[in-house]
Amino acid sequence: MQVQVVDYLAEDAPQKFVKSLRETGFGVLINHPIKKEMVESIYKNWYAFFCSEEKHDFAFDPEKQDGFFSSEVSETAKGHTKKDIKEYYHVYPWGRIPSQLAEEILNYYKTASDLAAELLDWVEAHSPADVSAHYSEKLSNMIKDTPNTLLRVLHYPPLQGDEEPGAIRAAAHEDINLLTILPAANEPGLQVQRQDGSWMDVPSDFGNLIINIGDMLQEASQGYFPSTSHRVINPTGKASDKSRISLPLFLHPRSEVKLSERHTQASYLLERLKELGVK
């Protein structure tokens, strides 16, 4: 079973894309509306920010969860004991953003969110009737006017050789949200776990757009769409000298949206943040 690379402009793109999501938890789009040049510029500008001391002026707010998270406070994946080797910045339109970076990153946030709404319509259109009957409202409507969708700008620094044994850039985890929209990073390393427990590389040519299912869509679809485990492995050889920048957009419904009999967005998110040790 392979993650499918689907041409966004093809007539049968919605069917092929949703089939890949169902089978692997991941789908990859080419010829999509998010321009390579925009992504390249964001990577360059945020890399400069992560290399500056200015980042410490934006230390994260524990209540709002916006701002800069240093490697000292970065996540420990559920079920793991070692922190990931990364630092990152949480971008929300209502949050704090360095002024020189704001216009470009908010433009990206809107472009990616608009595309995400279309992809959620694809998912709904190709959900079996007994699955879509459980959606409390249109999937794309769940993210309409939401303040909760999170854009995370990630910086995986070059490896120094003194990393904690067993620590990797991003330990195996599942995402919490509905869908994650991810332009391919500037360096490889992303892998998804097959049903037999083995790992496969996600097609990550620069310009590809990688989409994966999160736990909230798994919950809303009663398990029909699987939230699959993925990780970012450490580079070896010369590649270990390079930084890796990544830009996942985590689509979150509005807080009151009902995912299932058990959970709203808010109750589900709180449960998972406690497990991650960030709440």
In the prediction, which pLDDT does 100 show? Answer: 97
- What was the pLDDT predicted at 102? 98
pLDDT at position 240 is 67
Mean pLDDT by 10 residues, the chain (279 residues): 90 97 93 95 96 96 92 69 81 97 98 97 97 96 96 85 66 87 80 86 88 95 92 70 86 96 93 73
Residues 115 and 149: their CA atoms lie apart, in Å, by 13
Is 217 in contact with 22 (CB distance < 8 Å)? no
How many Å apart are CA 223 and CA 134, to the nearest integer?
A: 11
Quick one: which of 233, 141, 179, 138 has its CA closest to 29? 179
* Beta-sheet pairing, 26-30 with 5-7: parallel
**Looking at residue 19, what is its pLDDT?**
96
Element (H, E) at 128: none
- As a whole number of angstroms, the distance between CA 71 and CA 84 comes to 8
Query: Helix count (H) and strand count (E) of the chain?
Result: 7, 13
Tell me phi and psi for residue 115, to 5 degrees: -65, -40
Alpha carbons 158 and 179: distance in angstroms, whole number: 28
Query: Alpha carbon 56 to chain centroid distance?
Result: 24
